[in-house]
Structure 1
Amino acid sequence: MRGDVTVISGPTAVGKGTVVRALKQAHPEVWVSVSATTRPPRPGEVDGQHYCFVSSEEFDELLATNGLLEWAVVHGRDRYGTPAAPVQAALERGERVILEIDLQGARQVRTSLPQARLVFIAPPNWDELVARLVGRGTETAEQRERRLSTAKDELAAADEFDHIIVNDDVGRAVNELVDLLSL
């Protein structure tokens, strides 16, 4: 394996996707994995670009054939996972691989790829995290409560990560990540 893997994780609505998109825009040489999920697309999401939207049966097939590097049930409902083949191919090409995944997935990657760098994106504070989740307006009240419950557990696990970046300003958070990755 010639490339390296960096896992980007953190609680819901912390801005993981925003930070990763800004990193990719500034450094197109990084390779960002596209996760598979059984949840339906949100407005504006494109299959194969934001996620690979798959049926439960397709996800089961990936599991049965060891086609996922990691996977988890997220927020007690939908399944998400990282397809293994594209990641392995990118690593063999010597690319810097970014995995934007949840806490459960990060723990699995720590076991399967112990050389991976784990980066936790943290909110500046709890109230800001709640405001971001409510502000995006993509979840029902019940979904928000489930996500915030999960977020408390995720925040408590931040010390399991190699690095913590507080996302109080996207540009600053991206610059800190760029420095960390030596890009």
Structure 2
Amino acid sequence: MSNQRKLVLFIATSLDGYIATQNESLDWLFNVEGEGDNGYSEFYETVDTILMGKKTYDWIMKHEPGEFPYINKECYVFTRSHVEDTKDVKFVNEDIVSFTNKLKKEKGKNIWIVGGGDLLHSFINKKLIDELILTVAPSLIGKGIPLFKEGNYQTELSLIGTRHFNQFVELHYEVKKEISQ
């Protein structure tokens, strides 16, 4: 039995599978009546490390001015460019698989994939994700930034549980891992 940390996707999605509109708006999400913080605080306490892509980081910096939202957590931003670290963020230009596997072996709480779609696609393709917690909003966007990009992968999941927060439904899945001989 492994005590390895888990890599967890915790994200909101529209019913038709989008995480944002084409112009990166989340207005559709904030128009849905939730309950409290829809389980965010409870989840946030289970992680001590955060991973995100540069586009997601840039979106956060533009749309959430003021104090960085993930203080007191180790925060890594994957980028293809050389960017200087800040007091809140370490920028990573390493191989995703080796970097993530190294993090998973360190002592600590779980690791949260905040976003975005390109980074998530890489994690799925490399079979690095251990759990998915999807909060589904009763909204149809029609087109936008998809939660899951098209690709040559197949991932089997096992339902751990469901909850609802007023109009939101949370689906919690564990990724079925292939047993190697």
Class of the TM-score when normalised by the shorter of the 2 chains: 0.3 to 0.5
Greater strand fraction, Structure 1 or Structure 2: 2
Greater helix fraction, Structure 1 or Structure 2: 1
Q: TM-score normalized by structure 2? A: 0.46
